[in-house]
Amino acid sequence: MTRTLFLVALLSTIVVATHGHGRHMTAHNVTYDGKSLFINGRRELLFSGSIHYPRSTPDMWPILLDNARRGGINVIQTYVFWNAHEPQQGQFNFEGNYDLVKFIKLVQEHGMFVTLRVGPFIQAEWNHGGLPYWLKEVHNITFRCDNEPYKQHMQAFVTKIVQMMKDEKLFAPQGGPIVLAQIENEYNHVQRAYGEKGDSYVQWAANMAVALNVGVPWIMCKQTDAPDPVINACNGRHCGDTFSGPNKPYKPVIWTENWTAQYRVHGDPPSQRSAEDIAFSIARFFAKGGNLVNYYMYHGGTNFGRTSSEFSTTRYYDEAPLDEYGLEREPKWSHLRDVHKAVLLCRKAILGGDPNVEKLNEFHEIRTFEKLGTNLCVAFITNNHTTDAATINFRGTNYFLPPYSISVLPDCKTVVYNTQSIVSQHNSRNYERSTTANNFQWEMFNEAIPTTKKMDMYQNKPRELFTLLKDTSDYAWYTTR
C-alpha cells in the first residue's frame, strides 16, 4: 500500500512538472495578416499593459503581474533602458531593478505574452530618452539619423539585447513569451527635421531589426511609413478614430499606447482620465477591427534617483489602473477588467465574422460582426453624443444608451456591458501619520567648499555643465576670477 501510494504520488508529480514545463516552453509561431496576429495559427485578441521593470522593485514584480493578469491583461509591454543597462561604454548592468531577463521570465510564469520595445531611444519621460551620456562624446555623432557612429552603437546595443533574449530562449518560437518587438520610437516626430537622412535611417533601422531573425513581428509606433514587414502602430487616446490604419492592407491594427492619464510634471495637479472614457476607446477600437491595445501605463511606478526626464516627477502615471505602489485604482481597474471580459465574449465573431457598419445619424451607429449561416453575431451600439442619452432600435429591440457610450452585445441581443455604466466602487487614498515620525534624528551636513588649489581644471572659458559632470550629478562647484 505504501509503495503504491508513493508511485501514484511520484507519477502525479511528474505529470504536473511536465505539464508546467510544457506550458512555459511551448514554441509559438507568430505571424499576422490584415485582421489579426496569429499565435500558433490561432487568431488572438490582445489586451496589453505597460509595466516598466526599472520603475518598480523585483519584489513588487510578481504582485504587479498578478494584478494585471486578474485585470484581464494577457500581454505585458516594456521598454529596454539603454542608459540603465550600459551607463559606461562596454560596462553593463542587468541586476536588481534592471534584471530584464528575470522580469520577462516572471511574465511568462504568470501566463502572459511580452512586447519588447527595444528602442533604443524610448522617450518614456526617462533621462535622455534612454540614450547613455557617453554616446554624446562619440566623435562626429548625430543621434537618430543616418549617421554611421550612431548606427554603429545603436546596432551593437540592439544586437546585444536580442542575443540575450535568444540565449535565454525568450522569443516565442523558442518557447518564450515575447511575441512582438519594437525598433525606434515615435520617429515621425523628428524624421522631417533630418530630411533624407531621416528617411534612410527608418529604412536602415527596420532592415537591421528584421535581419536579427527573432522570429516575431517587429513594430514601429507613430511611424506612418514603416517599411515592410514592420507594422506601424498608433499612440494616442482614441486610436479607434484617429488612426488612419496600417500602411499596408495585410498588416493588423495595433495600438501601442492608450494613455490612461498623463505623466505629471512639477507644479501640475494630478492628471485625470476617466474610466468611462478609456472603456469607450477600447470598445470603439475593437468594434472597428482593432487587434491589440496596450495601456500606457498600466502601472507607472516610480522614477528612482535621477532617472526621470527634466520636469517629470518621481511619481509616474500614478492614475493608471495600478497606482504607484501597485494597488488597484478603482473604478478604473475593475471597469477595464469588465470591458476586457465583454470584448472577449465577442472574440470569435470579431475574428471570424464579416464586419458591417450602420450609421444612423451624426451621433449614432451600429457595428456588427456576423457569419451568415452560423450563430456568430456581435454588435457594438454607439451613442457618440456627449450630453444626450439615446434609445436606439436594433433588430426590433430598443436599447437605451447614456451619453457618450457604447453597448456591447456578444449575441446581437443581450447587453453585457456599457462603457458608461460603472458597477465597481470608487476608492481613495487615506493617509495616517507614521508613529515613527517623532523618532527621526535630524543632522546637519556641511559640504566642504573646494579651494582653487584643489581644483584640477583650469581654462579661460566656462565649462558646459552637462559635459563637466558627465550626467553623474546636477550640481557642480566652480571657481572663477
Side-chain-side CA neighbours of 167 within 13 Å: the count stands at 7
- Residue 222 placed within a domain: yes
Same domain, yes or no, for 304 and 404?
Answer: no
**pLDDT per position as a tens digit, 425-454:** 888 878 888 777 677 778 888 877 777 777
Given the residues 186, 319, 324, 370, the one annotated as active site? 186
Same domain, yes or no, for 235 and 254?
Answer: yes
Give the 3-state secondary structure of residue 430. Answer: coil
- Residue 413 placed within a domain: yes
281: domain CATH number?
3.20.20.80
Active site residue 257: yes
- Residue 468 placed within a domain: no
Task: Look at residue 465 in the predicted model and tell me its pLDDT.
Answer: 83
For the residues of 3-39, what is the DSSP string, one character each? Answer: HHHHHHHHHHHHHHHHHHHHHHH----EEE-SS-EEE
State which residues form the domain around 388.
Answer: 353-418
191 closest CA partner among 202, 182, 183 = 202
- Residue 18 placed within a domain: no
Same domain, yes or no, for 300 and 361?
Answer: no
Same domain, yes or no, for 357 and 216?
Answer: no
Task: Look at residue 365 in the predicted model and tell me its pLDDT.
Answer: 98
Quick one: which H or E segment has residue 428? Answer: none
Q: How many domains does the chain fold into? A: 2
Same domain, yes or no, for 180 and 323?
Answer: yes
Side-chain-side CA neighbours of 115 within 13 Å: the count stands at 31
Query: What's the alpha-carbon Rg for the chain, to the nearest Å?
Result: 26
- Residue 50 placed within a domain: yes
- By the 8 A CB rule, do 98 and 85 touch? yes
Q: What is the pTM assigned to this prediction?
A: 0.91
- Residue 164 placed within a domain: yes
- By the 8 A CB rule, do 186 and 225 touch? no
Domain boundary among 418, 433, 458: 418
Quick one: which H or E segment has residue 75? Answer: strand 75-79
In this structure, which amino acid lies at residue 410?
P
- By the 8 A CB rule, do 259 and 281 touch? no
Task: State the first-to-last Cα distance of the chain, in angstroms, to the nearest integer.
Answer: 94
From CA 403, how far away is CA 419, in angstroms rounded?
Answer: 10
Same domain, yes or no, for 258 and 134?
Answer: yes
Quick one: which H or E segment has residue 168? Answer: none
Q: Which residues of the chain have pLDDT under 50?
A: 1-23
- Residue 261 placed within a domain: yes
Same domain, yes or no, for 171 and 223?
Answer: yes
Same domain, yes or no, for 201 and 338?
Answer: yes
97 closest CA partner among 327, 299, 301, 264 = 301
From CA 32, how far away is CA 240, in angstroms rounded?
Answer: 19
Task: Look at residue 15 in the predicted model and tell me its pLDDT.
Answer: 31
**pLDDT per position as a tens digit, 226-251:** 999 999 999 999 999 999 999 999 99
What φ, ψ does residue 354 adopt, rounded to 5°? -95, 125
Cell 453624443 found at: 385
Give the 3-state secondary structure of residue 97. Answer: helix
Same domain, yes or no, for 295 and 374?
Answer: no
Same domain, yes or no, for 333 and 404?
Answer: no
Task: Look at residue 426 in the predicted model and tell me its pLDDT.
Answer: 87
From CA 273, how far away is CA 86, in angstroms rounded?
Answer: 35
Domain boundary among 378, 403, 418: 418
- Residue 438 placed within a domain: no
Cβ-based burial of 417 (10 A; exposed 0-12, middle 13-18, buried ≥19): buried
130 closest CA partner among 94, 92, 84 = 84
From CA 318, how far away is CA 334, in angstroms rounded?
Answer: 16
Cell 513581428 found at: 217
Given the residues 257, 319, 365, 370, the one annotated as active site? 257
Active site residue 137: no
Same domain, yes or no, for 164 and 46?
Answer: yes
Same domain, yes or no, for 317 and 359?
Answer: no
Domain boundary among 345, 364, 397: 345
